[in-house]
Structure 1
Amino acid sequence: MFNRSLINLCLCLVLVFTTCTSCSNKKKVLKHKEKPRIIISSDIGGTDPDDNQSMTHLLMYNDLFTIEGLVSSPSYGKGSTSEILRMIDLYEKDLPRLQKHSQDFAEPDYLRSITKQGRQGNAPYSGYTTATKGSNWIIKCAKDDKPEPLWVLVWGGLEDVAQALHDAPEIQNKIKVYWIGGPNKKWSANSYAYIAAHFPDLWFIEVNASYYGFFSDNVMIDSINSTNYFEKYIHEAGHLGKDFKNYYNGEVKMGDTPSLLYVMNGNPENPAGESWGGSFETFNHSPRIVHHGVTTLKDTVAFCSINEFHLKGPVTNIPKDSICFWMEVPFGKSTQKWPGYYLGEGDYAIKYIPKKAEILNYTFTSEIPEINGLKGALVVDNFWPGKKHKTDYQLGNNWYTDKADKNLYDGKIQGGKTISKWREESLLDWAKRWAWLKDE
């Protein structure tokens, strides 16, 4: 009887010791866990003010990250570092209130020192051009002798990422990219094509649709939606809160924020796992359809696929990779234009990426008579990446994209539910920080 009791007592002590040791180790791991290293590449200040909203979110959560760069990379529009610096000025005014809750917020002068200008405007047909302060900064940070990966969170064009990879291809094993594609992809077609063709082994999350789930009003939060969130939580919350009203009249869009949510919640090393920033699957081909001449309504392609048009024209002395024609596409009551290039030997080419399902009509205009006035059409469907083609870019094992499961669609948005399901939790978490800015 005594021996059995003694044995049971020993077993209990061993169990308690093991459990306590396990808890202690767990706490130690969490305590010493390194903050994610991030660079933001943004087209802030351009045509879409959702980047300003996402920059506000970043600044209010920067204590959770090691921010190593803020790069202005507007492939479209007139964004520049001046807009990033203006946002930092607002943050500086609110910083004393934020620091009451955490001493890990970055100093404004430090953030100013890592703000760099990248390429303004999209890259030529080759996908790269000349180095910028932004692309050089990406290289510098990637080459730092640190064991943690450098997360490059791209809110706009890929021009500076492509330039950095071109100038220092060895950094492809040092960086991990999360890119908000979709509309950004159509403006950055040449740089995207360059990366897909030359760096198939890059670790790359391409989000063409899921991010819409962050501002989907299919999910209600205690009667809170994108429109009234401002009045409930942001109104009168510091200088950043006052400024937030300037973007969509305070309506929460923030289409780029899922990139930040991805590295602040869940395990970013596992794209298929659950995260506020979405859940993704691997894909081994990026659709590239080569058209020799104009297309018709008999031609169907997937949204966000590269459509490479090659047109025959005269052999001229036009320098290679120079703009010599335009693709014009109706856009509401206006027209959007994309540049086409001369590749030599009478070959004129352009890469175009449709951003949504639609019937696409287009016209080519040029001073070259053989090209000027050519018209065509395309049927664009709503399933990415769609069927395979012999001309697709073949990808490695570390490219990820929106999940294709129909059950995860949010309305027409592929993969949207992988983000919209977390919308309540992430927005209410942000509401706590807005409350900090109301503290006296």
Structure 2
Amino acid sequence: MSSFASVGQNPVPVKPRIIVSTDIGGTDPDDNQSMIHLLMYSDKFDIEGLVSSPSYGDGKKEEILRTIDLYEKDLPKMKTHIKGMATPDYLRSVTKQGRKGGAPYLGYTTATEGSNWIIKKANEKSNRPLWVLVWGGLDDLAQALHDAPEIQNKIKVYWIGGPNKKWSTNSYAYIAQNFSALWFIESNAAYRGFFSANSTPEKLSGKNYYANYIRGAGYLGKDFKNNRYEGNVKMGDTPTLLYLMDGDPDNPMRENWGGSYEKLSRSPRIVYNRNTTLADTVPVYSIVEFSFKGPEVNIPVDSACFTMAVSNQKWDGFYLGSGNYAVRYAPKQKETLTYKVTSTIPGFQEHSGALVVSNSWPGEQYPTDYYLGASWFTDKPDPELFDGLWQGAKTVLKWRNDVLLDWAKRWKWLAEK
């Protein structure tokens, strides 16, 4: 990593306006860790919304409110060191419930408290864009764009994709197909540099950082260890915050705490009208769509009516009308996978097959790809920037030690008597 310029943290031109869309409280507690980080750095942002958007799992806004309650207890200590921390009552007022569960094939359904809040804040007059930081599925963002297309030019999006893309393939497809001019960072792998064990001093490693720097300090510190990671630092969503804490966010290609990205002109989409075999290869993170013919049934179009099982997980498939059915899948890593498609609809034929996933993004070009505008960015493909399997991850890993040492200062405040 010595080939990178050591620029450190640069001043941010203006305090960013942000809405965070999170699946906190779902199956992966790293959102809890990132929420703690955000609240401890609330002076760095104008936080205009905290939206619970669990496309998978049982997340709900009460988990955000619970974390705000802990922050409220620690706030007096932090306020003795720094000004401008967000007040707990204000944070509660901008916490909203979004969609629970992924969107259907169309990519949107009905408005939620969260999607309406995104529209409301995006349409407020400001000389600053509204940054929508997505830590889970894109479902509430897609709904907001559907209901108020004019906000496309008023927001900028930084999305942690990868595994989250699996759970919001339909909303991603809707956005990529209909809002290609959106300003959008799609981080499918670079964010993984933040929880890499490579090039990390032992005292700052994920398993040791808690014992060396957090040590149960304050109410937030005690809660940091209260999940299945047992204090092991993951925080895969935190790069969205780091990106807005270091330098000019209008330039995603710069060196930055939250990663460095390049323009993405097309997003791969592969459509199969047949069962696939190991002779079929698709790029990692691509949208893979399976279309089937089956019986014509009297159910509403866009109804979930069959399932595709992949690696002990299941995805809903949808009825498109006139005996047409479809399901989307987005592989999160290089692998060989098998799938099985079943339905309780009489006469629906069972399908099964296999697929090889290559570690190439965006990889081979397909006639069904989504073609994107000039402001869509993604992980840099330079082989020197891979951290193991993960494309562009060294652009985040490079700054991990600096970030954690900076955060350690704030944990020290909470340890004071």
Name the TM-score, length of structure 2 as normaliser: 0.96
Asked if the contact 1:267–1:275 (Cα under 8 Å) also holds between the matched residues in 2, the reply is no
1:381 aligns with 2:334: no
1:110 aligns with 2:87: no
- 1:401 and 1:31 mapped to 2: Cα distance? 23
Structure 2 vs 1, CA of residues 132 and 433 (structure 1 numbering), >3 Å: closer, same or farther? same
Counterpart secondary structure, 1:264:
coil
Mapped partners of 1:31, 1:308: distance in 2: 43
State the partner residue of 2:4. Answer: none
SS in 2 for 1:434: helix
Corresponding residue of 1:70: 50
Question: Are 1:346 and 2:323 matched, yes or no?
Answer: yes
**Helix, strand or coil for the counterpart of 1:320?**
coil
1:310 equivalent in structure 2: 291
Is 1:92 aligned with 2:72?
Answer: yes
Match of 1:179 in 2: 159
Q: Are 1:273 and 2:254 an aligned pair?
A: yes
Q: Check if 1:224 corresponds to 2:198.
A: no
2:404 is the counterpart of 1:427: yes
- Could you tell me whether the CA contact under 8 Å between 2:11 and 2:246 is conserved in 1? no
Structure 2 residue aligned with 1:283: 264
Aligned-residue offset at 1:345 = 1.3
Cα distance in structure 1, aligned partners of 2:181 and 2:341? 35
2: CA distance, partners of 1:252 / 1:65: 22
The verdict on how the C-alpha distance between 1:105 and 1:175 changes in structure 2, with shifts beyond 3 A counting, is: same
- Residue 249 of structure 1 aligns to a residue in which SS? coil
Pair 1:240-2:220 in alignment: yes
Amino acid corresponding to residue 304 of structure 1 in structure 2: Y
Partners of 2:403 and 2:352 in 1: CA distance: 46
Tell me, yes or no, if the aligned pair for 2:119 and 2:144 is still in contact at 8 Å: yes
Q: Aligned partners of 2:348 and 2:287: how far apart in 1?
A: 21
Q: Which has the higher helix share?
A: 1
Partner of 1:27: none
| Residue from 369, 374, 377 that aligns with 1:397 | 374
Moved more, 267-276 or 220-229: 220-229
Q: Map 1:20-419; keep pairs closer than 5 Å.
A: 34-221=14-201, 223-247=203-227, 248-330=229-311, 335-368=312-345, 370-419=347-396
CA distance in 1, matches of 2:22, 2:186: 16
Q: Which runs of 5+ in 2 are unaligned?
A: 1-9
Supply the distance in 2 between the matched residues of 1:309 and 1:279 (Cα, whole angstroms): 33
Deviations 1:190-242 (A, max 9, x none): 00000000000000000000111001001212643100000000013110001
Q: What SS is found at the alignment partner of 1:437?
A: helix
Q: What is the identity percentage for the equivalent residue pairs of Structure 1 and Structure 2?
A: 65
Alignment partners' CA distance in 2, 1:381 and 1:222? 33
1:208–1:304: 8 Å Cα contact kept in structure 2? Answer: yes
Name which one, 1 or 2, has greater alpha-carbon Rg.
1
Q: Could you report, residue by residue, the CA deviation over 1:99-120 in whole angstroms, capped at 9, with x for unpaired residues?
A: 0111200110000000000000
Matched residue, 1:15: none
Measure how far apart 1:32 and its partner are: 11
CA RMSD after TM alignment: 1.3
Amino acid at match of 2:331: P
- Give the match's secondary structure for 2:244: helix
Q: Against the structure 1 CA distance between its residues 369 and 381, is the aligned structure 2 distance closer, same or farther, given a 3 Å change threshold?
A: farther
